[in-house]
Amino acid sequence: MTMKKTASIVVLTALALCPSVAAAEGDASRGEKLFTRCSACHTVNGTNKIGPSLAGVVGRKAGSVKGARYSKALAQADLVWTEENLDAYLAAPVTLVGGTTMTVRISKDQDRQDLISYLKAQP
Confirm whether 14 is domain-assigned: no
Residue 9, pLDDT > 60, answer no
CATH number at residue 111: 1.10.760.10
Please give the Cα distance from 14 to 37 (Å, whole number): 35
Please give the Cα distance from 41 to 44 (Å, whole number): 11
Helix (H, G, I), strand (E, B) or coil at 61: strand
CB 16 within 8 A of CB 10: no
pLDDT score, position 1: 56
pLDDT, tens digit (0-9, with 9 covering 90-100), for 42-79: 999 999 999 999 999 999 999 999 999 999 999 999 99
- Residue 48: give the domain boundaries: 26-120
Confirm whether 2 is domain-assigned: no
Confirm whether 60 is domain-assigned: yes
pLDDT score, position 107: 97
Q: What total of structural domains would you count in the chain?
A: 1
Confirm whether 111 is domain-assigned: yes
Kindly report the pTM of this predicted structure: 0.79
Confirm whether 16 is domain-assigned: no
Q: How confident is the prediction for the chain on average, in pLDDT?
A: 86
Closest CA to 61 of 45, 77, 84: 77
Confirm whether 76 is domain-assigned: yes
Confirm whether 112 is domain-assigned: yes
Confirm whether 7 is domain-assigned: no
